[in-house]
Amino acid sequence: MAATDHLRNNIIDKLLTITNKDYLTALYKLVEKSADVNGKVKLTKAQMLMLQLSDADIKSGKLISQEEVDKSDLKWLKEL
């Protein structure tokens, strides 16, 4: 994985742990200003593969309801 992709993924992982709304709002404004003007995003090969795999899962009916995911998450959290 390229250094830029690795850095981006690390930032995303850390963002997922932030719960302070004001902090997230400030970060959002910062990122929004630096976004590509034409709105196009260049996806990596890994991202394209993940999207293709997701499409295949949807077409073959390999889906999990949000309720099932929530139950699984609660079970996992209780085991911590």
Q: 29-75 pLDDT, tens per residue?
A: 888 877 666 667 788 999 999 999 999 999 999 999 999 999 999 99
d(CA 47, CA 44) in angstroms, rounded, equals: 5
Contact 43, 51 (CB under 8 A): yes
SS3 73: helix
Query: With a threshold of 0.85, does the pTM exceed it?
Result: no
Burial of 27 (0-12, 13-18, 19+ CB in 10 A): middle
56-77: buried (b, 16+ CB within 10 Å) or exposed (e) per residue?
eeeeeeeeeeeeeeeeeeeeee
Q: Return the higher-pLDDT residue of 2 and 12.
A: 12
pLDDT band for 77, please (50, 70, 90 cuts).
very high
pLDDT band for 25, please (50, 70, 90 cuts).
very high
